[in-house]
């Protein structure tokens, strides 16, 4: 881990990450104006631009602590603020069959991806990050899972880079896939909500399929995000037993703060408060905007920690696992749509 005791080094890395984030937001806006629609998400651009900068020019030593802080702490804060935007009451408008299909799809996707990755000899940490990222909410899930399983920072960055690349493909291809499968607006929205990584990407992917697709896609996606808490808690318990022995009693009481990180607790608390209407809409909107900016800066920092040569060096096995995971998730999502008969 980089040394974070030097304030000037911390600030240098944060400034560089913020600059990459601003360039990404500006570039995405220019492309949207030029093409009349959203072409690529700023989050994706931030990772790609950051990775390009790192690969082409390297990263100064004095920026390491700041980029590490941005990629970890800022993203944790962004996850916490996401809790203010979770509206559990949407569950009341959806049938039990669809809710069950969402949960089953997420769990099945995690298990399938993890097994595929391990069969392809992908390390445990990387396999877990890829599985959770694809199944739940992309980079936010990777960020939430990483500190719980003590994932290597390079694995986090590489997983996020793969997610960024595939995220573009999913957003651009979803309307065409829905049309090829002859799905109606509601079914198309559910397919997008079960497959696309981030909420903004769901909006972009579902928009061409109409308002109904956007509404249902967003609700389904929010439920996938809600799965983040239980999944992280489960992984935390498994990791604690894996690290401390096979007996539950081997986990000292003082380590429970590591088992369930504070930012996940804060996320769940804010989500519960938001679900009961305890957060004013204006505050929720502000939290969402701040969360997006923190995430954007964090993604820029993650990009700056990725050397694309290392991603290429990951080899065909990891590329195959990530692609196969997305294909499997899409197939499961399509089966879910068929089961709920929408």
In whole angstroms, give the CA distance from residue 1 to residue 72: 11
Q: Each residue of 263-290: pLDDT tens digit?
A: 767 877 887 788 777 888 888 889 888 9
| Confidence (pLDDT) at 249 | 40
CB atoms within 10 A of CB 169: 11
Question: What's the CA gap between 215 and 171, in Å, rounded?
Answer: 16
pLDDT of 320 above 80: yes
Per-residue pLDDT at 114:
93
Q: What is the pLDDT of residues 62-107, one digit of tens each?
A: 888 889 888 778 877 887 887 787 665 555 556 788 889 999 999 9
Whole-number Å distance between alpha carbons of 210 and 321: 33
Quote the pLDDT of residue 261: 60
The share of the chain scoring above pLDDT 70, in percent, equals 85
Check: CB of residue 57 under 8 Å from CB of residue 308.
no
Residue 267 near residue 79 (C-beta atoms within 8 A):
yes
Burial code (b: 16+ CB inside 10 Å, e: under 16) for 107-121 equals: ebbbebbbebbeeee
Better-scored residue on pLDDT, 73 or 243:
73
Residues 59-81 as b/e (b if ≥16 CB within 10 A, e otherwise) read beebbbbbbbbbbbebbbbbbbb
Cα separation, 144 vs 149, in Å, equals 10
Look up the pTM and report it.
0.63
Mean pLDDT of 14-43: 87
pLDDT(298) > 90: no
DSSP 103-157: HHHHHHHHHHHHHHHHHTT--HHHHHHHHHIIIIITHHHHHHHTTTTT--HHHHH
């Amino acid at each position: 881990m980089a040394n974070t005791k030097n304030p000037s080094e911390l600030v240098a890395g944060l400034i560089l990450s913020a600059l990459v984030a601003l360039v990404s937001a500006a570039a995405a806006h220019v492309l949207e104006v030029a093409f009349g629609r959203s072409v690529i998400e700023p989050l994706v651009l931030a990772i790609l631009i950051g990775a390009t900068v790192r690969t082409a020019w390297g990263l100064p030593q004095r920026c390491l602590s700041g980029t590490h802080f941005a990629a970890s702490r800022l993203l944790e804060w962004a996850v916490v603020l996401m809790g203010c935007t979770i509206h559990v009451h949407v569950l009341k408008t959806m049938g039990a069959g669809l809710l069950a299909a969402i949960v089953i799809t997420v769990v099945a996707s995690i298990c399938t991806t993890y097994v595929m990755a391990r069969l392809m000899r992908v390390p445990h940490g990387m396999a877990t990050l890829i599985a959770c990222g694809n199944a739940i909410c992309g980079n936010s899930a990777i960020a939430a899972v990483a500190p719980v399983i003590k994932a290597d920072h390079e694995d986090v960055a590489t997983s996020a880079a793969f997610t960024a690349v595939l995220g573009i493909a999913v957003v651009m291809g979803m309307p065409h896939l829905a049309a090829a499968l002859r799905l109606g607006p509601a079914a198309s929205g559910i397919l997008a909500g079960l497959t696309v990584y981030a909420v903004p990407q769901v909006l972009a992917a579902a928009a061409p399929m109409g308002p109904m697709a956007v509404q249902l896609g967003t609700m389904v996606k929010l439920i996938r995000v809600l799965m983040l808490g239980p999944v992280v808690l489960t992984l935390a318990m498994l990791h604690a037993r894996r690290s401390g022995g096979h007996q539950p009693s081997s986990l000292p009481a003082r380590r429970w703060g590591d088992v369930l990180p504070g930012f996940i607790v804060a996320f769940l608390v804010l989500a519960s408060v938001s679900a009961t209407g305890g957060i004013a809409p204006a505050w929720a909107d502000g939290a969402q905007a701040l969360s997006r900016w923190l995430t954007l800066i964090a993604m820029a920092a993650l990009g700056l920690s990725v050397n694309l040569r290392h991603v290429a060096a990951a080899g065909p096995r990891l590329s195959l696992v990530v692609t196969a995971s997305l294909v499997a998730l899409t197939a499961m999502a399509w089966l879910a749509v068929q089961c709920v008969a929408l």
